[in-house]
Amino acid sequence: MIVPATRPVHDEQLVFKGLKQGLTLFVPEREPFGHWLEVLDQQLNQAKGFFQGGAILVELGERQLSPGELAGLKKVLAQYRIRIKGFNPGLRKKFNPRPEKRPPATTGVLLVKGTVRNGQRLENEGDIVVKGDLNPGGEIVATGDIIVLGALRGIAHAGAGGNVKAEIIAFTLAPVQLRIAHIFSRAPEERKGRQGPEVAYIKGEKIVVERL
């Protein structure tokens, strides 16, 4: 089934995005900040270390942190050896432009060492390479290509912003949903469980999958 996409990229989830400024944590403005600290702790615990030892930027939107909330954020991050290198107020509005017909310029590759698990969502302005699996309930969004060196069983959106030349490649391609630019597709039942590297790309006005 291939139909025009209607689901917008939203900002009501706690999301790590790889931007040209660096890896950025986007904290939604709704819900108490303490709620998002609990979600962050759970996500980092499930990530099994592929964020550990790094420095991140934090995007809070219009939210103003109290000294206690800032201390709580630093405490959670410190448990995973992550430090804050700065804040990016207002960056949220710049990341999700309206789709363009011309392919947007990519800015780099986000390398994810480990499995993207249920409830995790990663985004990057550029390509994403996952050295592991994309589990059901997990989601990755890239303005460029997506490469999964394992099983892709979640949601993958390549070419976000309008890049119709983007591709999705995985060793096992059995997604909940594939999306490239403005077109998305669910994997036919007969494809689920097939082994061997495959590539998905846009041909005409639909997504096709071929073996590599």
The domains of the chain are located at 15-94, 98-211
Query: pLDDT higher for 18 or 8?
Result: 18
Q: Name the band, by pLDDT with cuts 50, 70 and 90, for residue 92.
A: very low
Fold match between 15-94 and 98-211? no
Cβ–Cβ under 8 Å, residues 35 and 13: no
Above 90 in pLDDT, residue 170?
yes
Helix, strand, coil % over all residues of the chain, rounded to 5: 15, 35, 50
Long-range contacts of 135-140 (CB under 8 A, 24+ apart): 136/176, 140/112, 140/116
What CATH number labels 15-94?
3.30.750.50
Cβ–Cβ under 8 Å, residues 138 and 154: yes
Percent of the chain with pLDDT over 70: 78
The CATH class of the 98-211 domain is mainly beta
Q: What's the Rg (C-alpha) of the chain?
A: 17
Residue 136 backbone dihedrals phi, psi, to 5 degrees: -55, 135
Above 80 in pLDDT, residue 97?
no
